[in-house]
Structure 1
Amino acid sequence: DTFVLINPDANVDNISSILNDLHPSIKFTHKVESDDKLEFIDVQVIRSSEQQCIETTIYRKPKFTGLITNWNYYVPIQYKKARIVSMVNRALIICSPYALLGMEFNEIRRIGLKNDYPLSFIDNLNGIKLSQYRRKMNEESKLTVIGCDKKKMYAELPFIRSSTLELKKKIMHLSDKLRPDLDIHFFTKLPPSAQAFFQTKDPIVKHLKSDVVYYIKCNDCGHSYIGKADRQCVRRLGEHGAPKTIYQQQQCNHVSDDLNDNNNIIELRRSLRVKNKTTTAAPTTNDDNNDNKTTKSSITQHEKETGHHMDWSNFRVICQDHHYCRSLIKQSLLINADEPELNKTTHSVRLLVFPDGLPRVLLANPGH
């Protein structure tokens, strides 16, 4: 449907025939105003000669029966309110002058009484919606005078049942009084679960952590190294030449203490067959790769050239991040700030956001 304003001298039939000749499957129909009135969908457009303007009101077809949800029906009261409120809202939006709005309110009363609605119930809803509409129009007019739109603000509130609703109302009341230019939207956040306050899992020892940036230094000269481990630290430090027995001994101390208390247990074996079985394992490619990595490690080269020993057992995990790129950036920032002597490179990835690095006070101190 299209609402068109045409010059009074134009021939509407000729315009309609031209449009219908464009395609055989398209046929247009038209309706011309009668007595300065024209129905367009559910709106009646009225040409007011006195006010020299166009007015609008609700249009109902002649076959409209006025049948809505009856007051005596066994349905929730919200359904009955919705029937009246929907008609009132439509009247407030469509009816332009207050005279036509008053006539539409009378029509709503007639329809409601016809369906056994109490008159006080209808008038109460009419008054509430009209007050809300006028309040909204006044606020918009004030903002128009100020010359600015309302600024949206989002506020997070903890969910504590009725207390949250009461707090929300108080904040809205203060905002209307002090800051009418704000449009505050609230969203509630559920309180943390009880599991958040208790540790449900055993802590992971540092040499079994993965996706970390670690720090290790030499016992003799104090030279340091900052590295990154995607796998467990014990595997990465093993590639640097760390003895395998150090971390195995730390992990199994409590197990060995329990075993020593029991004199009957001499040795743990699944069966005598496994105990007596002798196998000769051929060297694997992984061992060769580990040897190559150990040879290329700057820590291993430092120990061979100087005869010093690294403090393997007291290495420190600086930070942990499971995101690969973020972990590289953190390592590069720490290398740039601390300048460890055993690192051959100044960064692991290009620092596009922080080309000059970050101040030392903003980063974790590897040595502490």
Structure 2
Amino acid sequence: MVYRAVTICSSYELMHKEFDFIEKISVKNGYPINFIKCQIRNTLNRHFEQNGNKTEDIPGRKHESKDTMKKEQIFVDLSFVGKPTELLGKKIIKLAIEIRLQIHIQPIPRPPPAINKCFPTKDSIPKELQSNIINQVGCKNCPASYMDKTIRQAIRRFSNL
């Protein structure tokens, strides 16, 4: 509803009236007024930032420099092992802020790789025991060849030849 109000309204006065209407409807539906105002503010901020409008034009928005608005975001994968992963992620974020303010590092906890990725449990099947194979048999007397697909094991298929 907030996005609709932003796109439809032609002035801040009309947009303000629309926001009042949204607040009335939301309060009647049981939402707390602080939550409603927070949602309107967050949605407005996202909309103006995505569309490249000046954030100084947003009512109630603190003036921020362009350096703090445009941050390079870097994602870092961390193996999740519980609380230590969260602490490491916070330390990485603080370190990045101390080194360079234009960088925002976002740690992403991921599960560690499965044990079967490190140690394959299956042995490879010898070629003569494989099934569902495509084979080509060449003629001994001429350059012609025969190609087919068989569901039988290779050793059984060629034992009949």
Higher relative contact order (CA 8 A, sep 6+): 2
The structure having more radius of gyration, on CA atoms, is: 1
TM-score, length-scaled by structure 1: 0.25
TM-score, length-scaled by structure 2: 0.49
Q: Which has the higher strand share?
A: 2
